[in-house]
Amino acid sequence: MKPKTGQAVLKSANMQGAALMTVSMAAFTVNDTFFKLLGDHLPFFQVLFLRSVGVMVLMVGLAYRMGAVHLPTSRPDRWLIAFRTLAEVAAAYFFLTALVHLPIANVTAIIMALPLTVTLGAALFLGEPVGWRRLLAIAIGLFGVLLILRPGGADFTIYSVYAVLAVLFVTVRDLSVRRISAEVPSLTVALAAVIGILGFSAVGAVSSDWSPMAPRDIFWLIGSMVFILGGYLFSVMAMRFGEVAFVTPFRYSGLMVALLIGLLVFDDWPDGLTLLGAAIVVLTGLFTFWREQHAN
């Protein structure tokens, strides 16, 4: 058997990275599905608190085994992690609340606008150069979001606004992490976010009336814990296996999974305008990413 050439090895790594990214996005979407199923009949903060406890236990165990968590010594890093955690808490609240009340495919399609908003935010607040082609793509992509939302229409509710707020806070989260030193482990940042969400959900859970959970609910809760952690781990592995330019576009596979789950689990299928808006968001996001790589 002939040894693999450098090009063949790179191609193999890219395919592994693409597969891992696709699995990661599927895992995140399955986690969303479990949370939505629970949120349909259980108090929101009860579900969020219990899931946060489980995720924190799993993540602490993983971090301990990897030895990947330590407190940053830099004061700016500590402030940035705290700021990012606040953004993560707000994003989780708005996204999950919207998820419980809106079709999963619609919320997922709106979240797919993140590459556009992060690129725009990086240009406005971090001074990163963005050419007119990407700015035009961002404008068209945001028009696609409006097609999904259709403000003033019969399906536009306060939870539609929540989905948009989730995008804004995730954008803030992703921009802030760019300023954190590379020496700070990713698990440290992620664990800080989990602790923040746990504290926030604990306050809400104390003031909420809890409901008894059936065995099915416990299964869904455990599934949500496992799949959200799996999504995080697979996404990290994906970026380490393949080239960023090849692997990152496979994030959009999550929308296909959300469409399929929405149909099979919730008997939801977006209308034509929503599908058109989702297609615009995905295509402009892909173009924006391609232009960023081309410019570099």
Mean predicted lDDT score pLDDT of the chain: 88
pLDDT tens-digit series, residues 76-126: 888 999 999 999 999 999 999 999 999 999 999 999 998 899 889 988 888
Question: What's the rounded Cα separation, in Å, for the pair 83 and 94?
Answer: 17
For the cut 90, the answer to whether the pLDDT of residue 180 exceeds it is no
User: How many residues in the chain?
Assistant: 296
pLDDT at 231: 87
Residue 243 confidence (pLDDT) above 60:
yes
For residue 239, what pLDDT is reported? Answer: 63
The CA-atom distances, in angstroms, between 33 and each of 96, 213, 220, 257 are 11, 17, 9, 10
Q: Identify whether the C-beta of residue 288 lies closer than 8 Å to the C-beta of residue 123.
A: no
- Under the banding of pLDDT at 50, 70 and 90, the label for residue 289 is confident
Share of the chain above pLDDT 70, in %: 90
Higher-confidence residue of 199 and 8: namely 199
* pLDDT exceeds 70 at position 69: no
b/e code 60-86 from CB counts within 10 Å (16+ = b): eebbeeeeebeebeeeebeebbebbbb
Taking the C-alpha atoms of residue 140 and residue 136, their distance in angstroms, rounded to an integer, is 6
For the cut 70, the answer to whether the pLDDT of residue 245 exceeds it is no
In this predicted structure, the answer to whether residue 265 has a pLDDT above a threshold of 60 is: yes
* pTM confidence score: 0.90
Structural domain boundaries of the chain? 13-295
- R_g over Cα of the chain: 19
Residue range 154-163, pLDDT digits in tens: 889 999 999 9
Residues sharing a CB contact under 8 Å with residue 29, sequence separation 6 or more, in sequence order: 104, 108, 254, 257, 258, 261
Spacing of C-alpha 39 from chain mean position = 18
- Specify the pLDDT at position 15: 84
The H or E element spanning position 72 is: none
